[in-house]
Amino acid sequence: MTGTLFLLSLIFFLWVPLEVVCGAGNASDSSSWPRSVNIGALFTYDSVIGRAARPAIAAAVDDVNADPSILHGTKLNIIFHDTNCSGFLGIVEALQLMENDVVAAVGPQSSGIAHVISHVVNELHVPLLSFAATDPTLSALQYPYFIRTTQSDYFQMYAVANLVEYFGWREVIAIFVDDDYGRNGVSVLGDALAERRAKISYKAAFTPGAPESAISDLLNGVNLMESRVYVLHVNPDSGLTIFSVAKTLGMLNSGYVWIATDWLPSLLDSIEPVNVDTMNLLQGVVALRHYTPDTDLRKRFVTRWNDLKYKKNAGPADFNSYALYAYDSVWLAAHAIDTFFREGGNVSFSDDPRLQDTNGSTLNLASLRTFDGGQKFLQILMRMNFTGLSGQIQFDQDKNLVHPASDVLNIAGTGFRRIGYWSNYSGLSVVAPEILFRNPPNTSNSNQHLYGVIWPGETTSIPRGWVFPNNGKPLRIAVPNRVSYKEFVAKDSSPPGVRGYCIDVFEAAINLLPYPVPRTYMLYGDGKRNPVYNDLVNQVAANNYDAAVGDVTIVTNRTKIVDFTQPYMESGLVVVAPVKKMKSSPWAFLKPFTLEMWCVTSAFFLLVGAVIWILEHRTNHEFRGPPSQQLITIFWLFSFSTMFFSHRENTVSALGRTVLIIWLFVVLIINSSYTASLTSILTVQQLTSRIEGIDSLISSNEPIGIQDGSFARNYLIDELNIAESRIVTLKNLEEYVTVLQNGPKNGGVAAIVDELAYIELFLSTTNCLYRTVGQEFTKSGWGFAFQKDSPLAVDLSTAILQLSENGDLQKIHDKWLTRNECSMQLNTVDDNQLSLNSFWGLFLICGLACFLSILVFFCRVLCQYRRFIPEGEEVAAGEIELARSRRGIRSTSSFKDLMDFVDRKEEEIKQMLKRKPNENKQQASPSTDGQRSSPA
């Protein structure tokens, strides 16, 4: 007994020190690496997303705890809480979860619950890692502790907008669940469409959990609208009900377009086996699915999915992309916790004084404690970067995952096929996003590509995307009730109640459309005066009319509020004024040429005569004689006689003949032009007007007439700064004639400014008593006006082009607007006169020929002059006078001596140059050198 007590005492004393030592060591380790760390999980168990998320989260926790390279022995505990798809219960469950001192929470899946819980985690500094809350507004700075581990609907809605733009649609109808998830997603869709000049024409919202009857009423109303492109943004658990009702209403037939967001692929991925009835319901639907790269890591997890033991404990497990994001969320938390501990972090919680004072409330708010290291842990989470099942896990500055991308799917047969991809890096493409990320970003329209789509009704033709609303309301078309120029548009007693050129063009274009257009024509105006067309266009923009058909001019301020079709008639502003016949003048023969032309032509007659005389004087005896006779030869007998090719003098020198040939060619052109111009002046009736165009009209202070209701009034006042007091409004053709006849001095106008189409008709009805003066000073056209973004404007523009190409537009024009052409010219005298601008090239050639000929001539004369009296030569005393005429260039002889030499005949000079040098030396005087050196 004593031995036993001794042995027990020895064991006790040995064990206590060891326990103290070991206990001290473990305490030291637990300060930085605790035995366990708690994280929470919030989602709805019994939902499409929840059934996929629960086994994925549990598998991720087991994989983390089994991996020795992370957390180093610290166990990761997961605490599940079911939000039961209820906002209220979700808040309660979140508060209960926070009582367990969790350092992070995975979830929730609902965006509405995430909005409320985010306020809780903000106070307690616990990061919220949501794998399914896709509401774009959750990325706001208001929720710093909310981290989205899946893709935001912001990018998904831009993908939908890209699809709408790619297929050329302009309007869509958004059908969505009326909660934070639906409303905020559709709001982003509206912004994305607006950037691409498209819009949401109607937002069809229904309450969460709405009965089938409410959905049927909603779709019945939608089906009566114009757009046939539907974007469906709902929850996976209620989305199929909408398609079922739509099928019953015939809204899944040819001509309809359905674009579903990622909820539909998530639902279909989770259905095992494939339900044939469900797939038949969805034929032709286009859907988007979050893109996840097909890596080996992902393949291993998908293969492992069916063997997860958690399926047996938690009921059926439905695999979809949210399972991958839930799995990666757990690993994100694990990597961040590991880094947190490595950087000296400590898991500790402290009481919040504000939660201790509950004012007598029985709620156990004091059990909620703040995570002391929450701010540091949040920063670590935001800089994590690793590759998970869903791809790269890394966040940008807006807390969104980098490189968001989607699969573009088309449901056909018993499954769906991928027709392309979308990424915010390159838009729509048939190349996988990870390949495109290696190249520079390119979102240009030419770079957008998709494979062919099989649309509802098993058609491959892209649906037009809209029809006329099937609500019994025909198109309301406003027609101007004109009192003048009724050939264009006017009231009619027989159906459809209007007639005219514009109406026929519109009807012909409507008949070319591949669909019926119910329409009702409604007269606009009191019938006593023409309506104001700006007001008519404003009525269309204000939705009082659907369109305006008539002689509506396309001008800038109108295009800002309505859409116009392709112009079906060209028309611009012109000036029409009274004209009078030009009286014949006894000086009409001078009118063909301007004064400048007459002066230059006369000068060249004298110049050429003088040049010919210089070139011919030494060799041609007809150009020699007394000075008076030579002047007559130059200025009359030769110069002016060449005008009629009747000169008698012959030219013998080569230079003279060259100049004469060129001059005769110039004279031929001048004679021909003069004859043609004079014939036109004397034989064609000429008209003239005091007003020469818009410029002279602006510079005057006289009244100007305009058509009642025309845009010309605002144009003259606002653009040309013409005083409003000068504008006279004219109601009908009779007033046009009256004011033009009276003129500005008798209460009339100096001219009328109106569109060319009206003026041509006016001139033909007045037997061409008036004329347009000047040029058309604006360029515009007539078109049919529709409300902004109306697809009918685009289709009618195509129809109008077709009418123009097949000649029908011209036939309609000839039917209503046949008229007599006013062919008589309206020109001023200056318009018919020929100026120097038309002939300066000829005069330049002739002048150069004269200059070069004179230059060659004098060079030859100077050479002869130098040879005639070489330097150092002596002259006999008896030939002093002859020597003076032979003095060379280097002597001090006067210019008269040179002229005397030039005046000698060519033959005489040649004979003198042939004398022998020795004879010249014998006849030379001894004092010749002295005479040469003395001045003449």
Measured between alpha carbons, how far is 326 from 304 in angstroms, rounded to an integer?
16
Q: Which residues pair with 345 in a beta bridge?
A: none
Q: What are phi and psi for residue 200, nearest 5 degrees?
A: -90, 110
Is the C-alpha dihedral spanning 828, 834, 835, 837 positive or negative?
positive
- The percent helix, strand, coil of the chain (3-state, each to 5) is 50, 15, 35
Residue in the structure block whose two tokens are 């166990």: 75
Q: Determine the residue type at 732.
A: N
Percentage of the chain exceeding pLDDT 70 = 79
What CATH code would you report for 153-293+404-447? 3.40.50.2300
Distance of CA 838 to the CA centre of its chain: 44
Contact 263, 52 (CB under 8 A): no
Q: Determine the residue type at 513.
A: L
Q: Is residue 190 over pLDDT 50?
A: yes
* Higher pLDDT, residue 362 or 495: 495
* Higher pLDDT, residue 644 or 171: 171
Contact 681, 592 (CB under 8 A): yes
CATH fit for domain 688-779, picks 1.10.3470, 1.10.1660, 3.40.190, 3.40.50: 3.40.190
pLDDT digit string, tens, across residues 406-439: 999 999 988 889 999 999 888 999 999 989 888 8
pLDDT attached to residue 341: 92
* Higher pLDDT, residue 308 or 672: 672
Measured between alpha carbons, how far is 570 from 783 in angstroms, rounded to an integer?
9
Lowest mean pLDDT among 76-80, 371-375, 538-542, 786-790: 786-790
The pLDDT of 731-736, averaged and rounded, is 89
Measured between alpha carbons, how far is 191 from 174 in angstroms, rounded to an integer?
13
HSE of 213, CA atoms in CB hemisphere, 13 A: 0
Q: Which residues pair with 412 in a beta bridge?
A: 415
The pLDDT of 759-785, averaged and rounded, is 86
pLDDT band for position 454 (cuts 50, 70, 90): very high
pLDDT band for position 830 (cuts 50, 70, 90): low
* Topology alike, domains 153-293+404-447 and 475-565+788-807: no
* Higher pLDDT, residue 91 or 402: 402
Nearest to 925 by CA among 874, 871, 867, 883: 874
Residue range 36-149+294-353+364-394 in CATH 3.40.50.2300: yes
Lowest mean pLDDT among 22-36, 143-157, 799-813: 22-36
Question: pTM score, two decimals?
Answer: 0.67
CATH fit for domain 475-565+788-807, picks 3.30.1200.10, 3.90.1150.10, 3.40.50.1470, 3.40.190.10: 3.40.190.10
Residue partners of 780: CB distance under 8 A and separation at least 6? 553, 554, 555, 567, 570, 571, 572, 755
The pLDDT of 763-785, averaged and rounded, is 85
The pLDDT of 170-177, averaged and rounded, is 94
Residue ranges covered by each domain of the chain: 36-149+294-353+364-394, 153-293+404-447, 475-565+788-807, 588-683, 688-779
Question: Distance between the two ends of the chain, CA-based, in angstroms?
Answer: 175
Ramachandran region, residue 888 (left: φ > 0; alpha: ψ -120 to 50; beta: rest): beta
Measured between alpha carbons, how far is 760 from 778 in angstroms, rounded to an integer?
16
